[in-house]
Amino acid sequence: AQSVSQHNHHVILSEAASLELGCNYSYGGTVNLFWYVQYPGQHLQLLLKYFSGDPLVKGIKGFEAEFIKSKFSFNLRKPSVQWSDTAEYFCAFLKGTGRRALTFGSGTRLQVQP
């Protein structure tokens, strides 16, 4: 079965620390990859996406992610986090063909301390 693993369930960082959240997917075919963010009390918002081309993609608010096909990974990074980055982060993938529904990971709760 296709799935997404997010290895860090809860991450606590101080402001200005660097962030890397792990994401691995299990599917052998072509995929589109996404990171969504959910700020407290708000709805899911797209942070960044990878469809094809340059495996290093940049999103909003200084986030970036790198697709490494050989590792089935799509890790999220930010060089310096801010208190306002406190949120829950979800990695998801969409199969290139067939079923057109996102498969989500279980999420990583990021808490940034001032």
Partner 1 sequence: EAGVVQSPRYKIIEKKQPVAFWCNPISGHNTLYWYRQNLGQGPELLIRYENEEAVDDSQLPKDRFSAERLKGVDSTLKIQPAELGDSAVYLCASSLGGSNEQFFGPGTRLTVL
The footprint of partner 1 (CB under 8 A) covers: 4, 32, 36, 42-46, 49, 51, 90, 92, 94, 99-102, 104-107
Min separation Cβ 5 and partner 1, Å? 11
- Within 10 A of 109 (CB to CB), how many other CB atoms are there? 14
Nearer to partner 1 by Cβ, of 10 and 14: the residue is 10
Euclidean distance between CA atoms 23 and 114, whole angstroms: 26
Contacting residues for 8 by C-beta, under 8 A, at least 6 apart: 21, 22, 108
CB of 114 to partner 1, least distance (A): 26
Closer residue to partner 1, CB minimum distance, 81 or 89: 89
- Chain centroid, CA 16 distance in Å: 19
